[in-house]
Chains A and B, each alone.
Chain A
Amino acid sequence: MLSESTLPELETAAREQLAAVLTHHIAPTALDLDADMAGSYALTSLNKVLFLTELCEATGVDLAHFTEDDLDRMRSLRDVVEALAPHSTKGS
């Protein structure tokens, strides 16, 4: 089970890592958890790969938990946080 503190820490890390790969400046706190990352933030497929690689490294999640199809299904920040949460061992 997730500790109560895991989700907020993961969400913060996800916001920071997503903001870091976007080509235009947007504050991590201004990102909409439910927005489609490709449509709303022009997240390219390569930037998505990089974002998830960096986020997994920062949160101690082994990328091997996911398949290429799992990654494809992660469309919003909330999708990402919920997918990583069961495997997360630490926050950012």
Chain B
Amino acid sequence: MTQDTLGRIVATEPGDGHIRVASLLGTQTLTLRELYRRSGRVARWLTGQGVRPGDRIGILAANSLEWVLLDLAALRLKAETAGFEPGKFAPTGDLIRRYGIRLLFTDRPAEAPGAVPIGEVTEVSQRADLDGVPLRPVTWGPKDVTTVKFTSGSTGEPKGLGATAGSIDSSLRAVQQIFEHGPGDDLFVFLPLSLLQQRYWIYSALLHGHDVTVSTYEAAFAALRRVRPTVVMGVPAFYETAKRQIEARMRRAGDGQTVGQAARAVFGDRIRYLWTGSAPAASSMLRFFTEAGLPIYEGYGLNETCIVTKNHPKAHRDGSVGQVLPGKEVLIGEDGVVSVRSEHPVNDHYAYCRPGDSERVFGPDGTVRTGDLGYLDEDGFLFIRGRADDVIVLDNGKKVIVRPIEEDMKADPAIAECVLFCPGQTELVAVVSPAAEPADEKAIAARLALTNAVRAADERIGRAIVADPPFSIDNGLLTSQYKPKRGRILDVYHDAVHDPEEGIHAV
């Protein structure tokens, strides 16, 4: 089944199209044919280094041409890759041993046996003498694992998951069916290539003959203006940042600049659409870009499921994360929890995890229990209401989904974060991280009243504790993804949350 996707990538010279690799130093452009040729040289060199089908190579580096070449070379050898995000992992001997890495390519200083400076790949890829050595043809079966991807878990050791060729094939086909990427498109990637989905857009370029730009994180905004992509692959936090920048540009320009003009100054003037996923997007942000003439499409998926649903130009609905893609099935349990069944599952277990983690998430047939609460409307659009973990069950048996209430609080400019607790099963207590210091308690009290005004009695917040200092990564109350750590926050504010006298009281 993968002969039309991964099979073609490894065995067939690609058509027209270019890859651009952007860093702060500038942009390097190669034809996709040249990329293919160079990846073949790297594959032959890896063979000479003893890398065989089934072996695993590690890549711990910022986005670069070498990253792309190693990934493609591994596919052509039927070797596995393990992409490690710099900053989250260090290139140590322990890492190499733990994940069974034959060679670890890195752009960080490393002395561990098996660690190779990624710069060596640059030199190898330009060695024409490697062109004559034949490469043994490979076939990727649906259940073969191409790569190990790691969850960006908020605590503890990241879980590792082997991604099957069948799941990649299925996702590439489904996305192409709805977005029809092709000549004239340039897909912009700046999130780490260690995230498998970011590599999909390189595979897509090789399959469908469009351009792709891979940027370092640091060069993202500068590169956007230089390369003028047609599609940007981002996450909500990126678009929130871009939105603020567009608004700041408009303020500086006065009445002379429309939102569309300011948006094009940031994203370039060729945007066909913006892709977002991985985390819930605020409706205000989605509306902003759509009204600016840059349609933005939210989707839904986890590492364990790959892309499950996606809004797209031909089928999108406000507030939803889109319709279910071909090859996927969304099941809503009696408890409202979303499970996902795939024709070709990413896998049916983690390769690296704590005991019991696989059984908690994967069913025997690979069905994934997501832990998210959601529902499908009559037209098959999926709506996500929150995490099952975010449900508070009151003593009257009523379930309160806290995310929409927290989102309402967070919509206030005075509030950066809000998490809800229910210390006595009788009253909701918010811990609010202020957006500025000193906290604007008047604004927080006003928002509390506003949030409560539109809610049923059980969903009203009784008190708001103002965090001092605000949540931060440094004080351990935010994850590296800037998500609040509920358990830790409750530990720190336990006394205040449980003391009925504390905080700003609702009136």
**Which residues from chain A sit less than 8 Å from chain B, CB to CB?**
20-21, 23-26, 39, 42, 44-47, 49-50, 53-54, 56, 63-64, 66-68, 71
Contacts and interface: CB of A to CB of B under 8 A. Distances in A.
Given A20-B248, A21-B241, A68-B216, 12 more contacts: A20-B252, A21-B245, A23-B244, A24-B413, A24-B436, A39-B474, A49-B218, A49-B221, A50-B221, A50-B245, A64-B24, A71-B24
Contacts of B237: 44, 46
A67 B241 contact: no
Contact of A63 (B62, B222, B470): B222
B218 A68 contact: yes
Contacts of B482: 44
Contacts of A44: 237, 241, 482
A41 B416 CA distance: 13
B470 to A, nearest CB: 7
A64 B26 CA distance: 6
B435 interface: yes
B24 A63 contact: yes
Given A46-B238, A68-B23, A63 B219 contact: yes
Nearest to B235: A46
A21 B218 contact: no
Contacts of B252: 20
Contacts, number: 63
Interface in B469-488: 470, 472, 474, 482
Interface string B185-228: 00000000000000000000000000000001111111000000
A45 B25 contact: no
Nearest to A26: B436
B25 A67 contact: yes
Nearest to A25: B436
A57 to B, nearest CB: 8
Contact of B218 (A39, A42, A47, A71): A71
B24 A47 contact: no
A21 B472 CA distance: 17
Interface string B417-440: 000000000000000000110000
Contacts of A24: 413, 416, 435-436
Contacts of A66: 24
A74 to B, nearest CB: 11
5 contacts: A44-B241, A49-B219, A50-B241, A53-B221, A68-B219
Interface in B230-274: 237-238, 241-242, 244-245, 248, 252
Contact of B244 (A21, A45, A71): A21
Contacts of B222: 53, 56, 63
Contacts of A26: 436
A82 to B, nearest CB: 18
The residue among A26, A46, A56, A66 with the most chain B CB atoms within 10 A of its own CB is A46
Interface in B453-472: 470, 472
Contacts of A21: 241, 244-245, 248
Contacts of A49: 217-221
A74 B344 CA distance: 46
Nearest to A47: B241
A25 B440 CA distance: 12
A47 to B, nearest CB: 6
A37 B53 CA distance: 47
A47 B243 CA distance: 12
Contacts of A39: 472, 474
Nearest to B25: A64
A25 B219 CA distance: 26
A18 to B, nearest CB: 11
Contacts of A45: 217
A71 B216 CA distance: 12
A83 to B, nearest CB: 12
Nearest to B218: A68
B195 to A, nearest CB: 15
